[in-house]
């Protein structure tokens, strides 16, 4: 289907909410690169980070807050987004981040070198010349041990999405001058009608079951997202192998997907693993392309390094013990999900209950206390590392190169530094509908509100719960649920707020 070029800058017209993404954060990239044998710069200290197509800066602003020794640079073409982002940064008082209204095409060596270059949700929506330039930047502006991240819509999985896009573009074919908002609404109405009609026929609705489910999912998505995803002039999904070839031509190597399921064949059934091994003959690009065909992959989040790092890379899927032992892990699994490893389930259950980060050394401490011999502990270590790898691949255990210690609230002993107070004040401001809040892992945090701002302001010095309640004395606190709104006692809310701040690592001991 021929796509008319949209002349207006559609990001000025229908702004794109700027959320943080944990999977594109340097913390994640550093850990993933380390897993594959690379030695990237620390993601928490003295690193320079560049984001291309940063929108309002929502993916880097909170990181600049948590990691003051790093320096963050965001670039985006859209003036309105950059200006709003800059105002937020000023309001928060952050000095280690700058946003530039700039075309990616204008970036050259003089823009400086970076340890991490990130670009999320941009590559598939830009012309080929800009795609090429983006990849060149990942070479020219990346330090030798640097890591880049590019995400993109992937084939064959995105073929279904292309059908939805074709429908939406078709129904808007004769309304070129209308706003993207109106076109999105019209597109959604058309999708709804098509779904209704498909459902009238049992054979069609049976055959198209998954496609209808996808269409229904699109209908539920917010308009800003649907408009840019399905109605932009360019949305150009590609096969992973084509992407890897583009990298190769520019002297870069595809290391892995951040979703390790797309890069590790060993997680699949033996038959699948053996077949993939036969087909790929040890070539990791062919291996991953086969995985994409099997899984019908729709989206990739590629980790990239320079060719000079080739010798360090380990694509064997067996990880050295030293690498396992370096990481700090955070459990993301549920109790049901640990049943496949009964030999270490007592320990994994305990770790789940504690919800703290841990290192492999917990195994030794745990089983020593239980009176196991050194040999038995070695056996447990093996089982535990196997448990970790499977769960890291499945996303059920997060892994990082740095530790994040939580400080609990203690009366008269802890306080919240001013930078977090300013941040919270700015991010929950009613005028901010564009930037999502996040935690130290760059995970989106919803539910921060004006009451939290009152509490946090009262925490600028160590204090007591009694004093904090005093700050909430005349404040009516309501909780809104599907059943209606009801008032919450200040004591109850205070406990929740303190827990929130603890989980956000806001407390510091005096």
Ligand X SMILES: C[S@@+](CC[C@H](N)C(=O)[O-])C[C@H]1O[C@@H](n2cnc3c(N)ncnc32)[C@H](O)[C@@H]1O
Answer for which of 50, 64, 130, 191 binds ligand X (CB under 6 A) is 130
Binding to ligand X by CB under 6 A, coded x per residue (else -) over 21-60, reads --------------------------------xxx-----
Question: CA 376 → CA 34, 343, 362, 367, 379, distances in Å?
Answer: 29, 11, 15, 9, 5
Pick from 63, 78, 141, 442: which binds ligand X (CB under 6 A)? Answer: 78
Q: What is the full DSSP assignment across 67-94?
A: -TTSEEEEEES-HHHHHHHHHHHHHHT-
The window from 101-109, 182-190, 194-202, 298-306 that contacts ligand X (CB under 6 A) reads 101-109
Residue 468 engages ligand X in binding (rule: CB under 6 A): no
49 vs 416, beta carbon nearer ligand X = 49
Q: Pick from 28, 43, 62, 81 the residue near ligand X by CB under 6 A.
A: 81
Per-residue interface string for the shown chain with ligand X, residues 191-230, x marking contact by CB under 6 A: -------------------------------------x--
Q: Write out the two tokens for 311.
A: 């010798």
Nearer residue to ligand X within complex by CB, 232 or 292: 232
CA 421, CA 149: separation in Å to the nearest integer?
Answer: 31
Give the ranges where 25-69 is alpha helix by DSSP (H). Answer: 26-35, 61-66
Q: Which stretch binds ligand X (CB under 6 A): 73-81, 342-350, 466-474, 478-486?
A: 73-81
Q: Which of residues 411-450 bind ligand X (CB under 6 A)?
A: none
DSSP 233: S
| 88 part of the interface to ligand X, by CB under 6 A | no
CB of 241 within 8 A of CB of 285? yes
Least Cα distance to 274 among 292, 295, 290 occurs for 290
Burial of 136: CB neighbours in 10 Å, binned 0-12, 13-18, 19+: middle
**Pairing verdict, β 238-239 and 142-155:** parallel
Site for ligand X in 476-505 (CB under 6 A): none
Residue closer to ligand X by CB (options 11, 358) is: 11
- As to burial, measured by CB atoms within 10 angstroms (0-12 exposed, 13-18 middle, 19+ buried), residue 51 is buried
Q: Cα–Cα distance between 259 and 245 in angstroms, integer?
A: 20
Supply the minimum distance, in Å, between the C-beta of residue 278 and ligand X. 38
Say whether residue 121 binds ligand X (CB under 6 A): yes
Nearer to ligand X among residue 124 and residue 357 (C-beta):
124
The strand pair at 114-119 and 97-101 is best described as unpaired
For ligand X, which is the closer residue by CB, 56 or 327?
56
At 147, list the tokens: 């890591």
Q: Which is nearer to ligand X, 13 or 496 (CB)?
A: 13
Assign 122 to helix, strand or coil: coil
Segment contacting ligand X by CB under 6 A, of 119-127, 201-209, 437-445, 494-502: 119-127
What's the closest the beta carbon of residue 164 comes to ligand X, in angstroms?
A: 17
Length of the chain: 510
**Which among 339, 437, 430 has a CA at the least distance from the CA of 390?**
339
Least distance to ligand X, CB of residue 60, Å: 10
Q: Does 158 bind ligand X (CB under 6 A)?
A: no
Is residue 165 involved in binding ligand X (CB under 6 A)?
no
**Long-range pairs for 217-226: beta carbons < 8 A, 24 or more residues apart:** 218/164, 218/188, 218/191, 219/188, 219/191, 219/192, 219/195, 222/17, 223/14, 223/181, 223/184, 223/185, 223/188, 224/14, 224/15, 224/16, 224/17, 225/16, 225/17, 226/184, 226/187, 226/188
* Least distance in angstroms from the C-beta of 58 to ligand X: 7
Min CB(427)–ligand X separation in Å: 16
Asked if 114 interacts with ligand X (CB under 6 A), we say no
Query: Which of 69, 90, 103, 248 is close enough to bind ligand X by CB under 6 A?
Result: 103
Tokens 């490893």 sit at which residue?
Answer: 341
Question: To which residue do tokens 């995985």 refer?
Answer: 291
Query: Is 104 an interacting residue with respect to ligand X (CB under 6 A)?
Result: yes
User: Helix, strand or coil for residue 117?
Assistant: strand
Q: Does 117 bind ligand X (CB under 6 A)?
A: no
Cβ nearer to ligand X, comparing 32 with 77:
77
Q: Contact between 123 and ligand X (CB under 6 A)?
A: no
Beta carbon of residue 186, minimum distance to ligand X (angstroms, whole number) = 21
Which residues contact ligand X (rule: CB under 6 A)?
Answer: 11, 16, 18-19, 53-55, 75-78, 81, 103-105, 120-122, 125-126, 130, 228
């Amino acid at each position: 289907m021929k796509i008319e070029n949209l002349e207006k800058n559609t990001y000025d017209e229908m702004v794109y909410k700027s959320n943080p993404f944990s999977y594109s954060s340097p913390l994640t990239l550093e850990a993933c690169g380390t897993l594959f044998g690379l030695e990237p710069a620390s993601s928490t200290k003295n690193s320079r980070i560049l984001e291309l197509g940063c929108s309002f800066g929502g993916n880097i602003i909170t990181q600049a807050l948590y990691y003051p020794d790093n320096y963050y640079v965001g670039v985006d073409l859209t003036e309105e987004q950059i200006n709003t982002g800059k105002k937020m940064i000023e309001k928060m008082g952050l000095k280690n981040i700058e946003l530039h209204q700039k075309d990616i095409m204008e970036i050259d060596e003089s823009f400086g070198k970076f340890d991490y270059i990130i670009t999320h949700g941009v590559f598939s929506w830009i012309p080929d010349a800009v795609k090429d330039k983006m990849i060149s930047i990942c070479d020219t502006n990346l330090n030798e041990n640097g890591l880049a991240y590019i995400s993109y819509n992937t084939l064959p999985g995105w073929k279904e999405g292309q059908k939805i896009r074709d429908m939406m573009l078709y129904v808007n074919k004769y309304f070129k001058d209308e706003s993207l908002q109106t076109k999105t609404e019209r597109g959604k109405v058309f999708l709804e009608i098509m779904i209704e009609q498909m459902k009238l026929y049992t054979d069609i609705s049976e055959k198209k079951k998954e496609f209808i489910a996808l269409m229904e999912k699109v209908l539920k998505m917010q308009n800003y997202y649907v408009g840019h995803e399905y109605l932009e002039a360019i949305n150009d999904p590609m096969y992973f192998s084509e992407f890897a070839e583009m990298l190769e031509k520019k002297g870069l190597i595809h290391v892995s997907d951040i979703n390790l399921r797309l890069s590790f064949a060993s997680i699949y059934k033996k038959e699948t693993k053996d077949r993939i091994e036969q087909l790929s003959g040890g070539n990791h690009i062919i291996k991953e392309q086969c995985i994409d065909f099997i899984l019908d992959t729709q989206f990739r989040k590629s980790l990239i390094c320079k060719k000079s790092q080739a010798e360090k890379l380990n694509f064997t899927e067996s990880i050295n013990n030293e690498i396992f032992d370096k990481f700090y892990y955070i459990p993301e699994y549920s109790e049901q999900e640990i049943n496949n490893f009964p030999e270490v389930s007592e320990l994994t259950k305990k770790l789940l209950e504690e919800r703290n980060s841990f290192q492999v050394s917990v195994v030794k401490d745990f089983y020593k206390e239980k009176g196991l011999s050194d040999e038995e502990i070695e056996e447990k270590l093996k089982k535990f590392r196997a448990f970790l790898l499977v769960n890291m691949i499945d996303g059920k255990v997060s892994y990082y190169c740095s530790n994040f210690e939580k400080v609990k609230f203690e009366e008269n002993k802890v306080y919240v530094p001013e930078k977090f107070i300013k941040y919270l004040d700015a991010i929950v401001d009613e005028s901010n509908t564009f930037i999502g809040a996040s935690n130290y892992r760059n995970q989106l945090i919803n539910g921060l509100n004006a009451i939290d701002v009152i509490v946090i302001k009262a925490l600028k010095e160590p204090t007591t719960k009694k004093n904090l309640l005093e700050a909430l004395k005349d404040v009516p606190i309501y909780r809104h649920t599907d059943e209606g709104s009801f008032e919450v006692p200040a004591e109850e809310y205070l406990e929740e707020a303190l827990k929130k701040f603890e989980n956000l690592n806001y407390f510091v001991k005096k």
